[in-house]
Chain A
Amino acid sequence: MSDLPRPEALFANIDYTPPKADWMDVPVDIKPGRYCYAANPESVKYLDLPNAHKWNPLDDDWGLPANWQEIIFNGLRERLHKYRSFKIFMDICVRCGACADKCHFFIGSGDPKNMPVLRAELLRSVYRGEFTTFGKIMGRFVGGRKLTPDVLKEWWYYFFQCSECRRCSVFCPYGIDTAEVTIIGRELLNLLGLNIDWIATPVANCYRTGNHLGIQPHALIDMIDFFCDDIEDITGIRPEPSFNKKGADILFVTPSGDVFADPGTYTCMGYLMLFEYLKREYGLDVTWSTYASEGGNFGFFTSHETMKRLNSKMYMEADRLGVKWILGGECGHMWRVVHQYMDTLNGPDFQAARMEVPSNPITGTVFKNAASTKMVHIAEFTADLIKHGKLNLDKKRNANIHLTWHDSCNTARGMGLLEEPRFVAKSVVEKFTDMPEGTIREQTFCCGGGAGLNAGENDELRMMGGLPRANAVKYVHEKHGVNMLGCVCAIDRAVLPNSMAYWVPEVSVCGLHELVANALVFPGEKERETDLRGEDLPGMEDE
């Protein structure tokens, strides 16, 4: 008996260290919890995208067409020719590693293929190996490799583990936008019908019905009616929003998530109250559309072509209704598309037929930054109203809230909207504390579920990706007593509640206009006892 090894000694011999190998030799291991389900072929078909078929990422056979390599090569060649940025990004990376530790998915997982440099290298290595003379001759010696089914699977797995947040690009000395590499990578995968369903089905719904959930016009109006009932109960004021009104001053477009998912619904109630206030006080005429009922643009996560198709509907609707300009709600990627892509997708000539350079009729402010797009972010709009003293606000109603601000990637990094939301927030809450430097503003951490990754089945990925953001929230919660995380993005409002529940359960999530509406004092309103969530206002607890 005495010769038997001790349990501890036996245990010590179990080695959990992953084998060391060059990244090209580490085979892709598709793990449940990190990937989203394959696209429903009906949705792919509806959009006329190629090779709609049923497939499962865990199967060996992904149902690829016989000439799949040729399709990818042709697609890659076309895009190298069409997008100069992409061609440059393929050629100029010196693999300095400045971006390597900046991705929230790498920071949270430690998976090297989530380092932006390596994620891009997945595609770049094939470009080198198949498209450059040097790479064709020297192969792996110069970082080139051939396109095999395993390489394709690796592309799919990791390009759908990137939320296209562009934090990595902030640190690249060459200005390489790795998100653009992901965008092209996904576009190539779509040529083979390899999308995920959390993107493909919302895109099909949006294309057909006008919003991601496929909500029909009457149901959309029903939902907004419910909100008006609740607002009336809380404030005694019943908003009377208009829909599809020709000749209105402004068309309002917001992500449908605000209409159907908490806590976005409270933000939506906030919009309704703000517009009602502006109508009663200043005669502002804002209309909602049941056709362009989606600000979000998941086409952006599919291909440039689908992004263009979905983006156009807002402008077609604005043209049809004859409004002066468009006011956009609290959305993330809608703004990235509008700000960075729209001008070359649908062009100013197309969408400026009848619209004017946006100006706020109440304050006279001209939004010159939106001269081309004709579209103003609601945080800019509200900040302008507050700056000119046009809103009667009572901060005390938000006295139980200690707010910190999550800069949403697309609005912060994508369009530089850093000060306006903070200005509005500080005007409506008494306690505001920013998270530490390096975690906010242009260096903000992604929520972990952007770019179509907020599916239920990839929760581990979202939790890992959400860790750096949650870690900074935890810090201000523990140090300063922060209990609310504000943001201006519907995806954030969908992703962050679960992330907070897991990492910092004492902190809730809200949109900006929920706070604005809580503080907004209507002339003649009844004394409010609760906030928009139906929770007692500070000082009303015992009454």
Chain B
Amino acid sequence: MELQKFLADNQHSLCEQWAEAIIKTYPEEGAKFFSGSSNQFANPVGNTFRSNVERIYKILMSDADICDCSVDLDGILRIRAVQGFTPSVALCFIPALKEIVRRQLGKSVPADQVDALIHDWSIRVDRLTMIGFDLYMNCRELLWKQKANQLYSRTHKLLEKANLLKDEEVAG
């Protein structure tokens, strides 16, 4: 069996399970809400998870550069980066895809063939995980930068008012 065909044939079910892997990290009532309404404005989190997961999945099963997933992965991680998760939980859904696919594949092919079939594709998922770390850290660093800027501008203004800055520092 060709893995690409398997991924294409099972796209709907696998994407659903993958989105579920993200959503089950939330408390029950929250998870229920995120899985519910498909209105992109009433339920932006659930909607982003579902639609971005599908687009990432399509890139993963194609030959396209894995970096093409960045925008959609960023959409998911930008949300998870502010929801109080530890980094490992925020990113846990990415490597989970390998196990989801492996489980489904195991139903169609003998167990001893699964590893060989999935090997190269798994590396693409690993690469996606690495990109995920970069994106997650970008989000966290932006938050810290905003916090630092807030403190900086507050202090800067006070120093400026007290005439304790040189002209070029005022301008800068």
- B-contacting residues of A (Cβ < 8 Å)? 8-9, 11-12, 14, 16-18, 20, 26, 31, 33-34, 100-101, 106-112, 115, 219, 436, 438-439, 456, 459-460, 463-464, 467-468, 471-472, 475, 498, 501-503
Stretch at the interface among B35-43, B53-61, B164-172: B35-43
Given contacts A33-B84, A101-B43, A460-B143, 9 further A-B contacts (CB under 8 A): A11-B96, A11-B99, A12-B96, A16-B24, A18-B25, A110-B30, A110-B31, A110-B45, A471-B40
A219 to B158, CA, bound (A): 12
Nearest-neighbour CB distance to chain A for B87, whole angstroms, equals: 12
| Residues of the A chain whose Cβ atoms lie less than 8 Å from the Cβ of B99 | 8-9, 11-12
Inter-subunit contact B37/A101 (CB<8 Å): yes
Q: Nearest CB to that of A118 among chain B residues?
A: B29
Among candidates A18, A459, A472, residue contacting B143 with C-beta atoms closer than 8 Å: A459
Inter-subunit contact B146/A459 (CB<8 Å): yes
Q: Nearest CB to that of B47 among chain A residues?
A: A471
Among candidates A31, A460, A471, residue contacting B44 with C-beta atoms closer than 8 Å: A471
Nearest-neighbour CB distance to chain A for B71, whole angstroms, equals: 11
Nearest-neighbour CB distance to chain B for A368, whole angstroms, equals: 36
Nearest-neighbour CB distance to chain B for A477, whole angstroms, equals: 14
Q: Nearest CB to that of B143 among chain A residues?
A: A459
- A-contacting residues of B (Cβ < 8 Å)? 24-31, 33-34, 36-37, 39-45, 78-79, 82-84, 89, 92, 95-96, 98-99, 102, 139, 142-143, 146-147, 150-151, 161
Q: A8-B95, A111-B27, A460-B83 are in contact. Are A502 and B44 (CB under 8 A)?
A: no
A16 to B45, CA, bound (A): 18
A26 to B139, CA, bound (A): 29
Inter-subunit contact B34/A110 (CB<8 Å): yes
Nearest-neighbour CB distance to chain A for B50, whole angstroms, equals: 14
Inter-subunit contact B40/A475 (CB<8 Å): yes
Inter-subunit contact B151/A456 (CB<8 Å): yes
Nearest-neighbour CB distance to chain B for A55, whole angstroms, equals: 22
The 10 lowest CB-CB distance pairs between A and B, nearest first, are A110-B30, A112-B29, A471-B44, A463-B82, A110-B26, A12-B99, A16-B25, A460-B82, A17-B24, A18-B27
Among candidates A8, A18, A34, residue contacting B102 with C-beta atoms closer than 8 Å: A8
Inter-subunit contact A502/B25 (CB<8 Å): no
Inter-subunit contact A11/B95 (CB<8 Å): yes
A539 to B43, CA, bound (A): 41
Interface centre among B26, B39, B41 (most CB of A within 10 A): B41
A502 to B81, CA, bound (A): 11
Q: Nearest CB to that of A32 among chain B residues?
A: B84
Inter-subunit contact B34/A456 (CB<8 Å): no
Please, could you name 22 A-B residue pairs with CB atoms under 8 Å apart, sorted by A?
Answer: A8-B95, A16-B25, A16-B92, A17-B25, A18-B25, A18-B26, A18-B28, A31-B84, A101-B36, A108-B79, A110-B34, A112-B29, A436-B41, A439-B41, A456-B151, A459-B143, A460-B82, A460-B143, A467-B79, A468-B41, A471-B44, A501-B146
| Residues of the B chain whose Cβ atoms lie less than 8 Å from the Cβ of A107 | 33, 42-45
Inter-subunit contact B42/A101 (CB<8 Å): yes
| Residues of the A chain whose Cβ atoms lie less than 8 Å from the Cβ of B82 | 33, 108, 459-460, 463-464, 502
| Residues of the A chain whose Cβ atoms lie less than 8 Å from the Cβ of B36 | 101
Inter-subunit contact B83/A464 (CB<8 Å): yes
Inter-subunit contact B147/A459 (CB<8 Å): yes
Nearest-neighbour CB distance to chain B for A202, whole angstroms, equals: 14
Nearest-neighbour CB distance to chain A for B105, whole angstroms, equals: 12
Inter-subunit contact B78/A112 (CB<8 Å): no
| Residues of the A chain whose Cβ atoms lie less than 8 Å from the Cβ of B43 | 101, 107
